[in-house]
Amino acid sequence: NASPSVVHITTMKVVRRRDPRLEPLEIPEGTGSGFIWDTSGHVVTNYHVIRNAHQARVTLADNTSWQARLVGYEADKDLAVLKIEAPPDQLHALPIGTSDDLQIGQKVFAIGNPFGLDQTLTTGVISALKLRLPTSNGREISNVIQTDAAINPGNSGGPLLDSAGRLIGVNTAIYSPSGSNAGIGFAIPVDAVNRVVPELIRAGRVPTPGIGIVSADEPVASRLGVEGVIVVRTVPNTPADRAGLRGIDRKSGALGDVIIAANGNPVRRLADLTEQLEQKGVGQAIELTVKRDAGTTTVSLVIADIGRMP
């Protein structure tokens, strides 16, 4: 039932020839997988599958091929949405599950196009939950699913399903010294996908929840023996600035505020704070526990879309 929802994505890039009189040449860039999100023609895949591509084609399970346009992407979550103009009766959307109730040992299924082999099914179990996966721009995807279902090059962007055929994750990476399956694959949890994809379809971008601080690097905090997010400075006219958060004293070098909890959840590093901000969302209030001088204080502020700030 799920197989007709899985697509093969082929990307192309443009290269210039040595002779400037000749037209640029379009050559294959790579392949990956994806799946149909709705009958309007939206297709979900990994951002790294289409990154730097000049164009992409989507091949459906019935072997029809369609030119795709990019609707939007979220590099921090390694997700992208394409759109094709295929008739609705050729588009079979995957049923959406949940990922917050998954259990280690639960049986899972991956469908994709490893090494260009269309509609390949692999099976396994959930090996671990709530992992963190670094992305290419230095941020992390939280609550990542680890599975031993075979995931190989070309599987990226394909669905990870539960035993009822519902989407529970998007296969995104493998850990392997050889580059092939070693029994350690990772998938973006569907709860994150369900937050990101509708925003990409609606606006072409995802709001970036933030409070307007510049924080110290984690190695700096470790050297200082500080557990939490060190506020180096606040950005003017942001929630952090208006709430009175304090940065490092430029004259003396003395530490200012250190954020140690958000909504009662411990904050040991920036990824912990980012996760809490994303869970609450733009426009929602959040309560921060801050180490200040010799004591602690509580600061309440409203999360802003820092991607819209100048």
What was the pLDDT predicted at 181?
59
What was the pLDDT predicted at 297?
94
Q: What is the token pair recorded at 109?
A: 């299924």
pLDDT tens by residue, 150-198? 888 888 999 999 999 999 999 997 665 555 556 789 999 999 999 999 9
Helices (H), the chain: 47-50, 190-203, 218-224, 239-243, 270-280
Q: Is the pLDDT of residue 211 over 90?
A: yes
Residue 277 pLDDT level (bands cut at 50, 70, 90): very high
Better-scored residue on pLDDT, 142 or 170: 170
What was the pLDDT predicted at 287?
96
pLDDT tens by residue, 70-89? 999 998 899 999 999 999 99
Q: Is the pLDDT of residue 295 over 80?
A: yes
201-215: string of b/e by CB count within 10 Å (b at 16+)? beeeebbbbbbbbeb
- Catalytic: 191? no
What was the pLDDT predicted at 21?
72
What was the pLDDT predicted at 236?
93
What was the pLDDT predicted at 42?
98
Question: Which residues neighbour 172 within 8 Å (Cβ) at sequence distance 6 or greater?
Answer: 46, 48, 78, 133, 141, 144, 156, 157, 186, 187, 188
253-287: string of b/e by CB count within 10 Å (b at 16+)? eebbbbbbbbeeeebebbbbbbbbbbbbebeeebe
Average the pLDDT over 114-126 and give the result. 86
What was the pLDDT predicted at 247?
94
What was the pLDDT predicted at 102?
96
Measured in Å, how far apart are the chain's first and last C-alpha atoms? 47
- Burial, 219: exposed, middle or buried (Cβ in 10 Å; 0-12, 13-18, 19+)? exposed
What was the pLDDT predicted at 113?
87
What was the pLDDT predicted at 138?
57
What was the pLDDT predicted at 176?
55
Q: Is the pLDDT of residue 106 over 70?
A: yes
Single out the catalytic residue among 5, 33, 42, 78: 78
pLDDT tens by residue, 6-31? 999 999 887 777 777 777 766 667 88
Question: Which residues neighbour 120 within 8 Å (Cβ) at sequence distance 6 or greater?
Answer: 111, 112, 113, 114, 155
Which residues, in sequence order, are bridge partners of residue 251? none
- Catalytic: 142? no
Single out the catalytic residue among 99, 142, 156, 215: 156
Backbone phi, psi, residue 16, to 5°? -85, 140
- Catalytic: 92? no
Q: Is the pLDDT of residue 271 over 90?
A: no
What was the pLDDT predicted at 153?
81
Single out the catalytic residue among 42, 48, 76, 257: 48
Q: What is the mean pLDDT of the chain?
A: 90
What was the pLDDT predicted at 26?
67
What was the pLDDT predicted at 237?
93
Residue 213 pLDDT level (bands cut at 50, 70, 90): very high
Average the pLDDT over 209-230 and give the result. 91
Average the pLDDT over 45-61 and give the result. 92
Q: Are 229 and 259 in contact (CB under 8 A)?
A: yes
Better-scored residue on pLDDT, 201 or 53: 201
110-148: string of b/e by CB count within 10 Å (b at 16+)? bbbbbeeebebebebebbebeeebebeeebbbbbbbbbb
Residue 137 pLDDT level (bands cut at 50, 70, 90): low
Residue 275 pLDDT level (bands cut at 50, 70, 90): confident
What was the pLDDT predicted at 28?
66
Q: Is the pLDDT of residue 47 over 90?
A: yes
Q: Are 245 and 229 in contact (CB under 8 A)?
A: no
